Amino acid sequence: MTGLIEHLRRVTTRGGAEVGDGELLGRFIDRRDEAALAALVQRHGSMVWGVCRRLLAHHDAEDAFQATFLVLVGKAASVAPRAMVANWLYGVAHQTALHARRTTARRRAREVQVTAMPDPEAVQQEDWTDQQLLLDEELSRLPDIYRAVVVSCDLEGRTRKEVARQLGVPEGTVAGRLARARVLLAKRLAHRGVVTSGGALAAVLSAASAGPAFAPPALVAAAIKAASLSATGLAAGVISVEVAALAEGVSKAMFLSKLKTVALVLVATMVVVAGGGFLHHTQAADPMSGGNSKAGSRLGSPNQGADPRSSKSKDADSDKVMTAGELLSVFDKNEAAGDDRFVGKAVRASGRVRKVERVSWSDMAPPPIAESDENYYVLTLFADRADGGEAKRASGGRGEKALPAVFVFPVGGRKELGGLEAGQPVTIEGVCLGRKEGAIVFTGCRIVKSK
């Protein structure tokens, strides 16, 4: 064991300085370096264990822990940016734990003895406060640039200087993102009945991470062995059936989510330019065609970001109207600056309506928004001279192409969308999710003004 620790220390340091997550991940992707993979498991194991243990009984948490790192082995190349490995692992761990929780619930429902013989681990889990569980739920929904600093600083206990070096940004940027993330979390928790300030959240987060303590060394060693064998294709017979099934289920769910995200953006930005840009979807004008308003409340709910309909969610930029082309220009010039300025905030954008269409969850899904079996609406704008220089170049000055910005409206907004016509000037307010598959995505949208 001592030899392994010394080897990991050599792998993870260079000249006394810590080797970054991005480099370790790159070594594993490019050279299948098992020592680099082991170092990542060792470095982030306690954080992953904390997530799993807050949601699951001990045995199920062990399975979820190992499955999380098996998913990393299979999807390492999809981690982007590579420096945000901790953030990616947090999201996968939370998704894996939820998947395991559902599987366990179904299994117990089939076991007759459950009512007569309660599981002591299940009883112990109830001791975790609702506040901690809600905190994980809302933290998992934060935009990546905010969740990454919370995971590293508050859940893993790293200093802002260390995180800044890891992410390759100034320390002041980390401090600003951390403060903003805590404010966003406080707002979202307040909507769920948990009232706390942004500053007090640091203590809550520390308590949540300290609860399950460090990952058991034997479990970390087992996860390293399983992940290494999986990377070389020799895991058969070593990894339990339950862990393998859990990892496979989560990997499939991630793949389907990616496909749905790509499909939404393709529909919103590339589909159908007919009749000189006409076409306002007739179903948007028909109140009877749209499902019920439950999906609307989900899509526009505080769980997905500050609700632009609420005066409490207003941000500094929410009253300032920018053309959609100007917003895109900010992201094109410096995407990190665009993320810092707009992601997670209510933003107002103006432009000319190109198309409104209803999209069903059964066909595709919006980028990470609560799943629903109901419908939602997507609005796109024309890329023309009124939308700024970037849009003018994208459209070739003809004003026929769709601007690469996607505005997602809840089903409850079908009435206000029903009166719009192609080419009509509008001002839209929505919460910015940042760039997804090449388009800037806004969710929970509403029409502020139309002419």
50-65 pLDDT per residue, tens: 999 988 988 999 999 9
pLDDT band (50, 70, 90) for residue 314: very low
Q: What is the pLDDT of residue 150?
A: 93
Region for residue 323 given its phi and psi (left: phi exceeds 0; alpha: psi -120 to 50; beta: otherwise): beta
- Rounded CA-CA distance 388/391 in Å is 6
- Rounded CA-CA distance 164/346 in Å is 27
- Rounded CA-CA distance 165/154 in Å is 16
- Rounded CA-CA distance 16/9 in Å is 10
pLDDT band (50, 70, 90) for residue 450: confident
Q: What is the pLDDT of residue 228?
A: 86
120-171 pLDDT per residue, tens: 544 444 444 567 788 898 999 888 889 999 999 999 989 999 999 999 889 9
Kindly report the average pLDDT of the chain as a whole number: 74
Comparing CA positions, the residue from 68, 84, 67 lying closest to residue 24 is: 84
Between 213 and 300, name the one with better pLDDT: 213
Of 11-15, 266-270, 362-366, 428-432, where does the model show the most confidence? 428-432
Q: At residue 22, does pLDDT exceed 70?
A: yes
Burial of 330 (0-12, 13-18, 19+ CB in 10 A): middle
Q: What is the pLDDT of residue 39?
A: 92
Average pLDDT, integer, range 225-253: 84
Q: At residue 279, does pLDDT exceed 70?
A: no
Q: Is the CB of residue 324 less than 8 Å from the CB of residue 405?
A: yes
Q: What is the pLDDT of residue 84?
A: 93
Q: Which part of the chain has CATH 2.40.50.140?
A: 257-450
In the chain, the percentage of residues whose pLDDT exceeds 90 is: 23
CA atoms within 13 A on the CB side of 101: 16
Q: Is the CB of residue 394 less than 8 Å from the CB of residue 383?
A: yes
Q: Is the CB of residue 162 less than 8 Å from the CB of residue 123?
A: no
Q: What is the pLDDT of residue 152?
A: 94
Q: What is the pLDDT of residue 25?
A: 94
Looking at the DSSP assignment, which residues form a beta bridge with residue 322? 349
Q: What is the pLDDT of residue 44?
A: 95
In the chain, the percentage of residues whose pLDDT exceeds 70 is: 66
Looking at the DSSP assignment, which residues form a beta bridge with residue 294? none
Q: What is the pLDDT of residue 60?
A: 93
Q: Report, at the CATH architecture level, how domain 257-450 is classified.
A: Beta Barrel (2.40)
pLDDT band (50, 70, 90) for residue 105: confident
186-201 pLDDT per residue, tens: 888 888 888 777 667 7
Helix axes 160-167, 171-191, angle to 10 degrees: 110
Q: What is the pLDDT of residue 164?
A: 93
Average pLDDT, integer, range 330-356: 86
Q: What is the pLDDT of residue 96?
A: 95
Q: What is the pLDDT of residue 306?
A: 40
Q: At residue 16, does pLDDT exceed 50?
A: yes
Average pLDDT, integer, range 31-44: 91
pLDDT band (50, 70, 90) for residue 23: very high
